[in-house]
Structure 1
Amino acid sequence: MTIPKQVRKTLGLKRQGRVVIGVEPIKKTFTIHQPPSIFDLAGTFTPKDKRKIIDAVKIRDYMEKHYERT
């Protein structure tokens, strides 16, 4: 769906991607908003088992040492 620039500006839709359109039939209105990006969600979730928290730098080092293309 293409949303005109002025409408995007008015609604505050800044980045490209998905939008969520909600419809309220009783009020005969609809809403448009962007869902949060993966970067917006960073830090909002915590693992159930805190012992399994792994540092991202350690993960990258592990991948560099063990990953091979096939």
Structure 2
Amino acid sequence: ITQIVASNPEERGLSFGSHFDISDDILVSHVSRKSINVLKSRYRALVSRRDVLVLCNLKCVFSIE
């Protein structure tokens, strides 16, 4: 099950298929410090340079130290 959660009040009325779809660049996965640490400790060999850059950007979006 995938849950789509609005990041601000203005986005709460938006719905998938009507206001945005899979081709839009506005969907991101929520990450936490814990999930990043698991990626680093267990999946380091599978994480590409591009993945690292995306994670760095998401750290900024979600204010992760």
Question: TM class by shorter-chain length?
Answer: under 0.3
Larger radius of gyration, structure 1 or 2? Answer: 1
| More relative contact order, 1 or 2 (CA 8 Å, 6+ apart) | 2
Structure with the higher fraction of residues in helix conformation: 2
TM-score, normalization by structure 1: 0.23
Please report the TM-score for the alignment, with normalisation by the length of structure 2: 0.24
